[in-house]
Amino acid sequence: MLFDAPDIGSGDPIDVLEGTGSNVLLPGQSVVVLVLGEIPDIGLISNATVEADPSDVQGNVLTGVARPSDDDTAEVREASISLETTAAAGAGSDCADAVEVLLIPSGEDMTWCFAVKNTGAISLLVREVTDQALGITAAIPPGLQNLEPGITIFVSANDVVQGPVVIDADVKGKPLASSGAVLDQAPEVADMDPARVVIPGAELALVKTISTTGPVTVGQTVTYTLTITNNGPHAASGVRVVDDLPVGISYLSLPGDADWACSYDGDQAGFGCLKSTDLASGVSVTLRYTAQINSSPPANTALINVAEVSSDTPDGDLSNNRGEAQTVTGTGETAIPTPPPRPPEYPGPFPTPVPPETPPDEVLGLAITGSSSNLLGMLSVAMLALGGLLSVGSRRSRKDD
Ligand SMILES: [Ca+2]
Ligand SMILES: [Ca+2]
């Protein structure tokens, strides 16, 4: 009795009675033949045949009787399924944008995305993708539950971010006969795949320094330096710095960095700056500005200037977000200098007396006396006689002196 299954095993015919202790198979008896082999990925249809020589109970071959034979097929197909889990920001998001690790703040809407593929050679019944521990379930629409080989379906589930989490979603598939009926004897296939949600965090630190610790004098210019560092692990967005000056110092300038938009407070006693781009993890930036000691502070006073950094990205350690810089005013003589002696209104030597005004020539002429009296008498006569000629005569008489 020979059994032949050319698609499996060695391919050589097997004597099915070998090792049974008998060389005949009596009516009603059966024998089981085991053939070990490997099933290729594409599955296998095995066609086996058995044939025998008719014999009596002792094994004597009977001539003239047709040789009995039979054949039968068995089909083996691989059933397998794969799952890819990813995550996307927002509710009902396009899963084309989904990622393996989603960086998203707590409280935000998000979408879990699942790609289910039949990677086997037989149709599968697939009903849902789920992570029971997280209470996440993505039901597969009834019309898509019969998943044919090579086909991928996409389903998703909305969620709200509560904190960092890892989803370990799983999917199961039941092999289906070509009729669509579930093959109960075939084992269920399954796959699992994770995706992560990470809450962004950026540990910012601010250090403030001043160009001098003092003593400073009124009118002196000082330079402040703010160093802002992102210790990570993620980029910080919406980074803001606020700075406040104490009484006694006035701003001369705002930080001039083009990446920061800075403006004074209404009372000019402080300013705020907003960084236009994210501050990457591991990066430090520096802002500088100048200020001037004004006349307000008393002597020997500490002038403490405070700056603080914050951002939209959560910072797990707020203890290092504030920086102070201190300088002191000098003693009274240096803090508020005594004004120098006031200079005289009209500098120069003691003024000399202004000489009296020169009297008119007419008066001099009239004062002539003595030897000129005869002339005067003559002029007087002439004046009486000629009137308007008097002044001419008087001027000439002075030159004669
Ligand atoms: Ca994944
Ligand atoms: Ca911090």
CA distances for 288 relative to 122, 195, 198, 253, 255, angstroms: 69, 44, 35, 9, 5
What is the DSSP code (8-state) at residue 373? H
Cα 192–chain centre separation: 32
Residues 234 and 286 in one domain: yes
Residues 378 and 280 in one domain: no
- Calculate how far, in angstroms, residue 318's C-alpha sits from the geometric centre of ligand 2: 4
Residues 111 and 171 in one domain: yes
Q: Is 58 left (phi over 0), alpha (psi -120 to 50) or beta?
A: alpha
- Calculate how far, in angstroms, residue 95's C-alpha sits from the geometric centre of ligand 1: 12
Which of 39, 56, 76 is the C-terminal boundary of a domain? 76
Residues 187 and 247 in one domain: no
- Residues 138, 139, 145, 151, Cα dihedral to 10°: -20
Task: Report d(CA 397, CA 401) in Å as an integer.
Answer: 7
Task: Report d(CA 28, CA 116) in Å as an integer.
Answer: 49
Sheet bearing 109-118, strands edge to edge: 81-89, 109-118, 152-160
Residues 92 and 178 in one domain: yes
Which of 45, 61, 76 is the C-terminal boundary of a domain? 76
Q: Pick the ligand that lies closest to the CA of residue 206.
A: 2
Q: Pick the ligand that lies closest to the CA of residue 113.
A: 1
Helix (H) or strand (E) holding 64: none
By three-state DSSP, how is residue 100 classified?
coil
CATH number at residue 297: 2.60.40.1510
Task: Report d(CA 393, CA 102) in Å as an integer.
Answer: 122
Task: Report d(CA 106, CA 199) in Å as an integer.
Answer: 6
- Calculate how far, in angstroms, residue 230's C-alpha sits from the geometric centre of ligand 1: 29
Residue 261 included in any domain? yes
- Calculate how far, in angstroms, residue 167's C-alpha sits from the geometric centre of ligand 1: 9
Q: Is 27 left (phi over 0), alpha (psi -120 to 50) or beta?
A: beta
Residue 121 included in any domain? yes
**Backbone phi, then psi, for 399, in 5-degree steps?**
-60, -30
Residues 209 and 179 in one domain: no
- Calculate how far, in angstroms, residue 170's C-alpha sits from the geometric centre of ligand 1: 11
Query: How high is the pLDDT of residue 268?
Result: 87
- Calculate how far, in angstroms, residue 334's C-alpha sits from the geometric centre of ligand 1: 70
Tell me the longest C-alpha to C-alpha distance in the chain. 209
Residue 359 included in any domain? no
Where the chain has pLDDT below 50, the residues are: 333-340, 344, 347-351, 359-401
Residues 387 and 316 in one domain: no
- Calculate how far, in angstroms, residue 183's C-alpha sits from the geometric centre of ligand 1: 29
**Total Cβ atoms within 10 A of residue 321:** 18
Residue 18 included in any domain? yes
Residue 255 included in any domain? yes
Ion ligand 1: residues, CB within 5 A, are 85, 193, 195
| Entry pTM | 0.60
Per the structure, how many domains does the chain have?
A: 4
Cα 62–chain centre separation: 91
Residue 70 included in any domain? yes
Q: Pick the ligand that lies closest to the CA of residue 83.
A: 1
Residue 209 included in any domain? yes
Which of 164, 198, 232 is the C-terminal boundary of a domain? 198
Domain interval for residue 149 = 81-198
Residues 88 and 184 in one domain: yes
Residues 208 and 317 in one domain: yes
Residues 217 and 284 in one domain: yes
Residue 348 included in any domain? no
